[in-house]
């Protein structure tokens, strides 16, 4: 009759195998989580742009700002975020990218077509912690209703 060995631990090979498997899982999971966080930030920036457009719609309806001729069939009006916040149409918006308010030079350009259509083009600009303007969140200001995650630039 043989004597039973007392086996209470893991062998070196079992331990190394476990570490390798955990390393593979983390190598896959970390970029996925990073993409989820970036997509959430981009969605929040787009939502902020749409909130600015909604505030501008209210501003136009009640304040009747002056539009200038841009093209023969189009007039335009440009407003800064400060115009909308000081008039009470918009609360100070915070960038999800760096947790600072959007810079006061962020703007919306409203195009009014002769057929009665309005197009709202928003450009949000980051604000550094010292208050200076940073970078633009959108490569080009275009119709806020057409923004997608691919249009949002995250740099900070």
Query: 9 versus 43: which is more confidently predicted?
Result: 43
Structural element, H or E, at residue 136: strand 133-136
Strand partners, 37: none
In a domain, 116, yes or no: yes
This prediction's pTM: 0.79
In a domain, 6, yes or no: no
Q: What is the number of domains present in the chain?
A: 1
CA separation, residue 145 to residues 113, 119, 156 (Å)? 17, 9, 25
CB atoms within 10 A of CB 92: 10
In a domain, 7, yes or no: no
In a domain, 5, yes or no: no
Query: 131 versus 105: which is more confidently predicted?
Result: 105
- The range of the structural domain enclosing residue 45 comes to 12-151
Contact 87, 59 (CB under 8 A): yes
The residue assigned the tokens 């959108």 is 138
Binned at pLDDT 50, 70 and 90, residue 98 comes out as: confident
pLDDT in the model for residue 139: 83
In a domain, 1, yes or no: no
Strand partners, 77: 110
pLDDT (tens digit, 9 = 90+) per residue, 131-144?
777 888 888 888 99
pLDDT in the model for residue 156: 54
């Amino acid at each position: 009759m043989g004597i039973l060995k007392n086996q209470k631990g893991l062998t070196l090979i079992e331990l190394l195998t476990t570490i390798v498997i955990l390393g593979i899982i983390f190598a896959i999971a970390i970029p996925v989580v990073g993409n989820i966080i970036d997509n959430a930030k981009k969605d929040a920036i787009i939502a902020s742009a749409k909130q600015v457009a909604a505030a501008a719609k209210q501003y136009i309806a009640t304040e009747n700002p002056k539009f200038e001729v841009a093209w023969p069939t189009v007039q335009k009006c440009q407003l800064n975020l400060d115009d909308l916040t000081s008039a009470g149409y918009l609360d100070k918006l915070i960038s999800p990218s760096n947790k600072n308010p959007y810079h006061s030079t962020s703007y919306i350009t409203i195009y009014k077509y002769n057929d009665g259509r309005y197009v709202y083009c928003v450009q949000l600009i980051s604000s550094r912690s010292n208050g200076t303007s940073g970078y633009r969140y959108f490569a080009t200001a275009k119709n806020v209703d057409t923004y997608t995650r691919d249009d949002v630039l995250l740099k900070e």
